[in-house]
């Protein structure tokens, strides 16, 4: 699949400035020289490594059904901006309610027009949860993606909505959402990852968030790739002093999905809320790795992952809370709840702590169980079939996470997505 960026054909279509293209070439070389994960790598211990075979994937062609995709890119009634990408290319954008000074631009435009921002923040965080190699590939192949920059003291009232579509058999897409918030800025962003035609695809996406002092980010991602898609979603969040990041990652699609989420509490008083709802059914495997990295005082992190595992599907959760030496008065919570709907469903949970300090409060735990028979009986006694009752319970678990989002329009949208996905 890999076409070297230095070949003339690619330079012609590569929208980025030459300095970045050179970095892309270096990233590609790094990708190629980095060995593929093996069973011996701790971060890949439980993953189905055969799913990582990229040989069949090809660069995504130009989108064939642009109008259809744009029409299907509807969610929120009111939004500050909406961008639609089809196979890495921007096919539609509108920004009806962006306050003065707020930047929402495709990354290739941002690399020219906001070069200082781009250079300072683009993939500035290390990828340290196992997928370094794929992050290099992402950088090498990047053509699309969005920069959202909200300057100091600016609040974007309405959410920003981004759609990333993939179309065509074995197409490869590289979504990227980069959010940079100035001090006391506030914004809500939702990413949709969708398949136009249900074909097998490869998605390798990165979301990087940088929160300035006192800023607030509310972010949601709804991943609904096709059932055979190999997907990487690598998130990093750098939380500034007294800033709050709340991120909810919903995985409803994909075949093998690798998620990595790192929240770095780098400044005192920061808070990161890390939520995820995962619906693993069929033979889907959702393999998630998280790090709550506390490198500041009075910082807090709160992680809650809800996994629902049906059929012969599998979820893997490996999460670490790291409190660095000298960083006292930390509150860190990590909880994973696995709901297993069949005997063949598997949920692997590996919570972990690396605490180099005494003055901290950390709790972590993972629970696994099936549906509560008394809860089912109660619902059945109202005339609701067992099947529907199970779907309602699953939707309920997911909706409980949605309650943690402090934007009503986004909550309504997410509830609608959940209801639609579960048929309730």
Partner 1 sequence: MSLSIQNLTANIGDLPILKGITLEVPKGEVHAIMGKNGSGKSTLAKIMAGHPDYTVTGGDVLMDGRSLFEIAGPDERARAGLFLAFQYPMEIPGVTIANFIRAAIQSRLAEGEELEATDYYANLYAKMDALKIPRAFTSRSVNEGFSGGEKKRCEILQMAMLEPKYAVLDETDSGLDIDALKIVSEGVNALRSPDRGFLVITHYQRLLDYIVPDRVHVMVDGRIAMSGDKNLALELEARGYDWVTETAAEPALA
- Which of 355/419 has CB closer to partner 1? 419
* Euclidean distance between the first and the last CA atom of the chain, given in angstroms as a whole number: 40
If binding is defined by CB under 8 A, does position 383 make contact with partner 1? yes
Shortest Cβ 378–partner 1 spacing (Å): 4
- Which of 70/384 has CB closer to partner 1? 384
Residue range at the interface with partner 1 (CB under 8 A); choices 3-11, 82-90, 102-110, 382-390: 382-390
Shortest Cβ 275–partner 1 spacing (Å): 13
Give Cα 87 distance to the centre of its chain.
Answer: 18
- Which of 103/388 has CB closer to partner 1? 388
Whether the Cβ atoms of residue 201 and residue 1 lie closer than 8 Å to each other = no
- Candidates 44, 57, 193, 398; binder of partner 1 (CB under 8 A) is 398
- Candidates 386, 406, 416, 420; binder of partner 1 (CB under 8 A) is 386
If binding is defined by CB under 8 A, does position 408 make contact with partner 1? no
- Which of 14/400 has CB closer to partner 1? 400
Q: Look up residue 422 and give its two tokens.
A: 């579960």
Shortest Cβ 205–partner 1 spacing (Å): 28
- Which of 403/406 has CB closer to partner 1? 403
**CA torsion angle 405 410 413 417 (round to 10):** -50
Radius of gyration of the chain (CA): 21
If binding is defined by CB under 8 A, does position 423 make contact with partner 1? no
Shortest Cβ 424–partner 1 spacing (Å): 7
DSSP track, 102-121: -EEEEHHHHHHHTHHHHHHH
Place of tokens 């998620």: 259
Q: Cα–Cα distances in Å, from 16 out to 88, 115, 134, 165, 234?
A: 13, 11, 20, 21, 22
If binding is defined by CB under 8 A, does position 395 make contact with partner 1? yes
Whether the Cβ atoms of residue 332 and residue 304 lie closer than 8 Å to each other = no
If binding is defined by CB under 8 A, does position 50 make contact with partner 1? no
- Which of 32/412 has CB closer to partner 1? 412
Shortest Cβ 247–partner 1 spacing (Å): 19
**CA gap 318, 219 in Å, rounded:** 22
- Candidates 393, 410, 417, 422; binder of partner 1 (CB under 8 A) is 393
Residues from 150 through 209 that contact partner 1 (CB under 8 A): none
If binding is defined by CB under 8 A, does position 388 make contact with partner 1? yes
Whether the Cβ atoms of residue 195 and residue 165 lie closer than 8 Å to each other = yes
Residue range at the interface with partner 1 (CB under 8 A); choices 15-23, 24-32, 257-265, 369-377: 369-377
Choose among 145, 149, 18, 160: nearest CA to 90: 145
Give Cα 188 distance to the centre of its chain.
Answer: 14
- Candidates 396, 406, 412, 420; binder of partner 1 (CB under 8 A) is 396
- Candidates 178, 185, 274, 379; binder of partner 1 (CB under 8 A) is 379
Q: Cα–Cα distances in Å, from 339 out to 253, 266, 310, 335, 336?
A: 17, 34, 8, 13, 10
- Candidates 41, 115, 403, 406; binder of partner 1 (CB under 8 A) is 403
If binding is defined by CB under 8 A, does position 378 make contact with partner 1? yes
**CA gap 118, 411 in Å, rounded:** 31
- Candidates 100, 325, 374, 408; binder of partner 1 (CB under 8 A) is 374
**CA gap 203, 231 in Å, rounded:** 5
Shortest Cβ 385–partner 1 spacing (Å): 5
| Residue ranges with strand state E in 215-358 | 216-224, 230-239, 244-251, 256-265, 271-280, 285-294, 300-309, 314-323, 330-340, 346-355
User: Residues binding partner 1: what is the number (CB under 8 A)?
Assistant: 26
**CA gap 98, 2 in Å, rounded:** 38
If binding is defined by CB under 8 A, does position 375 make contact with partner 1? yes
Residue range at the interface with partner 1 (CB under 8 A); choices 83-91, 177-185, 192-200, 372-380: 372-380
Strand, helix or coil at 271?
strand
Chain contacts with partner 1 (rule: CB under 8 A): 372-375, 377-386, 388-389, 392-393, 395-400, 403, 424
């Amino acid at each position: 699949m890999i076409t070297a960026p230095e070949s003339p054909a690619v330079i012609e279509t590569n929208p980025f400035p030459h300095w970045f293209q050179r970095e892309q070439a270096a990233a590609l070389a790094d990708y190629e020289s980095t060995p593929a994960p093996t069973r011996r790598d701790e971060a890949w211990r439980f993953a189905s490594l055969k799913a990582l075979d990229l040989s069949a994937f090809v660069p995504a062609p130009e989108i064939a059904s642009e109008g259809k995709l744009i029409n299907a890119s509807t969610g929120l009634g009111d939004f500050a901006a909406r961008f639609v990408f089809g196979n890495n290319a921007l096919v539609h954008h509108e920004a009806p309610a962006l306050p003065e000074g707020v930047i929402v631009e495709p990354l290739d435009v941002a690399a020219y027009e906001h070069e200082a921002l781009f250079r300072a923040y683009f993939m500035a965080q290390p990828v340290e949860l196992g997928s370094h190699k794929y992050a290099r590939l992402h950088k090498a192949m990047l053509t699309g993606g969005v920069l959202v920059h909200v300057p100091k003291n600016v609040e974007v009232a309405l959410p920003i909505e981004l759609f990333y579509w993939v179309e065509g058999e074995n197409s490869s897409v590289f979504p990227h959402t980069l959010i940079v918030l100035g001090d006391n800025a506030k914004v809500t962003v939702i990413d949709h990852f969708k398949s136009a035609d249900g074909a097998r695809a490869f998605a390798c996406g990165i979301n990087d968030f940088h929160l300035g002092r006192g800023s607030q980010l509310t972010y949601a991602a709804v991943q609904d790739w096709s059932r055979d898609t190999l997907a990487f979603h690598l998130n990093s969040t750098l939380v500034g002093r007294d800033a709050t990041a709340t991120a909810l990652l919903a995985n409803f699609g994909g075949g093998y999905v690798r998620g990595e989420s790192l929240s770095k509490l780098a400044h005192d008083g920061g808070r990161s809320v890390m939520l995820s709802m995962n619906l693993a059914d069929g033979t889907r495997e959702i393999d998630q790795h998280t790090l709550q990295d506390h490198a500041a005082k009075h910082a807090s992190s709160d992680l809650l992952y809800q996994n629902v595992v049906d059929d012969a599907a599998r979820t893997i959760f490996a999460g670490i809370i790291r409190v660095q030496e000298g960083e006292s008065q930390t509150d860190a919570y990590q909880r994973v709840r696995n709901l297993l709907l069949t005997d063949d469903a598997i949920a692997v949970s590996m919570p972990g702590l690396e605490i180099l300090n005494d003055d901290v409060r950390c709790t972590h735990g993972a629970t696994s169980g099936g549906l509560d028979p008394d809860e089912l009986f109660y619902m059945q006694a109202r005339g609701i079939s067992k099947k529907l009752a199970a779907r309602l319970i699953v939707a309920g678990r997911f909706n409980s996470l949605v309650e943690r989002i402090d934007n009503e329009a986004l909550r309504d949208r997410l509830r609608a997505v959940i209801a639609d996905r579960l048929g309730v």
